[in-house]
Amino acid sequence: MRITITKNEREFDTTAAWRIIGQMVQKPDAVIGLSTGNTTPGMHRIVSDIFTRYPFDVSRVTLFNVDELTNLPREYSGSCYTMILNQIAGPLGLREEQFIMPPTMSEDFEAEARLFEQRLAERGGADLQMLGIGLNGHIGINQPGTPFESETWVSPMDPDFEARVRRETQVPASTVLGGLTRGIKNIMQTRKIVLIAKGEHKAEIIEKAILGPVLTDIPASVLQLHPNCEILLDAAAGARIAERAAARGWEW
């Protein structure tokens, strides 16, 4: 495991953006997983800005997001499809077939989960996953307690997040909301993972996930077992682990 702690948020966004660009340049047909949330818009914007100023070949790149909300309109501004489309897939000019996402509405989400994985497998599987971490240690929408052998499925939302989504969309209580997410097993099969976090509010969970025991109660802790994983943090998120990381040469 490699740990990178940047000096500030701007350096974090730039470093994360170059992880994405580097994968695209190194492997022109790369399959790259992204994440949405407060951590990622800055890095996506920098990728798009650099592409605009210094165009590089993205004609064979495939992008996807690690998860997607279910039973909501795809046009909802909080849908992962809409965010990734607006932040990076659109600015890079990717064709529809280069942007793989499950639908937000379906009569059979189990079948959609299988199809999602099938489409990624047909392209050789995921080369890189930029992976966020929740305050409770979730990755994708795999909440605490999710078995490490879980495969792509529809998970319940975090209650606080679900309440916010319902306020924003006015979806009735009778509509069951969730998230189609790559399972922990699928995530761990990615060839390279970059776990990303910024902000002081993420420092405690980063310490638990990276330095604590590997437990299903903290899904992100399983990344300690991945053979090619980088932990990329800004100074605030890395505050609790910086001293020990430096003492161990930033890798273990």
pLDDT digits (tens, 9 = 90+) for 216-230: 999 999 999 999 999
Per-residue pLDDT of the chain (252 residues; tens, 9 = 90+): 999 999 999 999 999 999 999 999 999 999 999 999 999 999 999 999 999 999 999 999 999 999 999 999 999 999 999 999 999 999 999 999 999 999 999 999 999 999 999 999 999 999 999 999 999 999 999 999 999 999 999 999 888 889 999 999 999 989 999 999 999 999 999 999 999 999 999 999 999 999 999 999 999 999 999 999 999 999 999 999 999 888 888 876
* Euclidean distance between CA atoms 44 and 159, whole angstroms: 27
Residue 40's pLDDT is what?
Answer: 98
Q: Would you say residue 153 lies in a domain? A: yes
Domain that residue 139 falls in: 2-247
Q: Would you say residue 50 lies in a domain? A: yes
* Euclidean distance between CA atoms 85 and 83, whole angstroms: 5
Strand order in the sheet with 62-65: 2-5, 229-233, 192-197, 128-131, 31-34, 62-65, 99-100
Q: Please, what is the angle between helix 41-53 and helix 9-26, to 10°?
A: 60
Token pair belonging to 120: 């990624």
Q: Would you say residue 252 lies in a domain? A: no
Provide the β-strand partners of residue 194.
Answer: 130, 230
Q: Would you say residue 22 lies in a domain? A: yes
Q: Would you say residue 143 lies in a domain? A: yes
* Euclidean distance between CA atoms 217 and 200, whole angstroms: 21
Residue 251's pLDDT is what?
Answer: 79
Q: Would you say residue 124 lies in a domain? A: yes
Looking at the structure of the chain, the number of domains it has is: 1
Q: Would you say residue 66 lies in a domain? A: yes
Residue 252's pLDDT is what?
Answer: 62
Q: Would you say residue 58 lies in a domain? A: yes
Give how far Cα 242 sits from Cα of 19, 55, 238, 247, 251, Å.
21, 36, 6, 9, 12
Q: What is the CATH number of the domain that holds 87?
A: 3.40.50.1360
Residue 241's pLDDT is what?
Answer: 96
At residue 182, what are phi and psi to the nearest 5 degrees? -60, 135
Q: Say what the pTM is.
A: 0.96
At residue 121, what are phi and psi to the nearest 5 degrees? -65, -40
